[in-house]
Amino acid sequence: MELPKLLLMSGMFLVLGLQQRLLNNIWNIMKFNDLFFSKEKYFSVGIEEESGDYYVSIPVSNRSVDYEEYYRISEKEYYDHKDDLSQLEYVAEECRKKLRDNDLIIKPGADRGIPI
């Protein structure tokens, strides 16, 4: 009777291991290139080189690490503000309030950070 539990647990560890490898591959493939950074407002705007997607990123922190969350923005949003990317601050504020979670490029894990 213990054998099925052991097999199930081994399968769970296998799945968790595959998920970790997939996440590692995502980070190795994606190349985030900041085109603008605001020290005062704590956000950046850039392009993900492999996909050509534009993004706004904000710094976040959890119990273990500080990192950035990247949110996809439309080409229209980018080009509407291309001459003054600081105007995209409203997008960063929406991201901090989690109003744009559907636009996250990389979905956060269970220990999601809070905006800095």
- For tokens 């600081």, name the residue: 86
Residues 37 and 26 in one domain: no
pTM for this entry: 0.76
The total of structural domains in the chain comes to 2
**What range does the domain containing 2 cover?**
1-30
Say whether pLDDT at 16 is over 50: no
Type of residue found at 104: L
Say whether pLDDT at 21 is over 70: no
| 54-99 per-position pLDDT tens digit | 999 999 999 999 999 999 999 999 999 999 999 999 999 999 999 9
Residues 22 and 67 in one domain: no
DSSP state of 64: S
Residues 39 and 94 in one domain: yes
Euclidean distance between CA atoms 63 and 18, whole angstroms: 24
Euclidean distance between CA atoms 68 and 30, whole angstroms: 13
